[in-house]
């Protein structure tokens, strides 16, 4: 499975960005897709994740500002980020928990996309 993320960039505080991540490969079932972030000197942490059934978990730090959605027909997950703050600055990684033909269920990570919020 390959995860191709896009949409990061530089934005002023209060601005918005939309991240996209498309999964490709011999995917039989996409169990979960979502986003993690890692700021310099910090551990990678969950931002938002959504299940095949449609439920979502959002980190408290971004609730009310970030929205996660997915298109199961294309195995694509989106992260709409509004009211961005400088503390949102991080590398954002796309994540997928997928069942792959011939391999079984595994975790997959995208290459990361930088989000920088200036004050």
| Alpha helices (H) in 32-101, listed in sequence order | none
HSE on the CB side for 5, CA within 13 Å?
A: 26
Q: Count CB atoms within 10 A of the CB of residue 71.
A: 12
Measure the CA–CA gap between 30 and 76, rounded to whole angstroms: 10
Please report, in tens digits, the pLDDT of each residue of the chain (119 residues total).
999 999 999 999 999 999 999 999 999 999 999 999 999 999 999 999 999 888 999 999 999 999 999 999 999 999 999 999 999 999 999 999 999 999 899 999 999 999 999 99
Q: Would you state the pLDDT for residue 87?
A: 96
Q: Would you state the pLDDT for residue 15?
A: 98
Distance linking the first and last C-alpha atoms of the chain: 37
Q: Would you state the pLDDT for residue 52?
A: 82
Q: Would you state the pLDDT for residue 53?
A: 80
Q: Would you state the pLDDT for residue 92?
A: 98
């Amino acid at each position: 499975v390959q995860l191709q993320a896009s949409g990061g960039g530089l934005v002023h505080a209060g601005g918005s960005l939309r991240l996209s991540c498309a999964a490709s490969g011999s995917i039989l079932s996409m169990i979960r897709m979502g986003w993690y972030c890692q700021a310099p000197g910090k551990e990678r942490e969950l931002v938002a994740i959504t299940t095949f059934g449609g439920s979502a978990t959002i980190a408290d730090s971004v609730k009310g500002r970030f929205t996660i959605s997915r298109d199961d027909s294309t195995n694509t997950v989106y992260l709409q980020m509004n009211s961005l703050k400088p503390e949102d600055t991080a590398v954002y990684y796309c994540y997928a928990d997928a069942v792959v033909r011939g391999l079984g269920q595994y975790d997959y990570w995208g290459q990361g996309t930088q989000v920088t919020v200036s004050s």
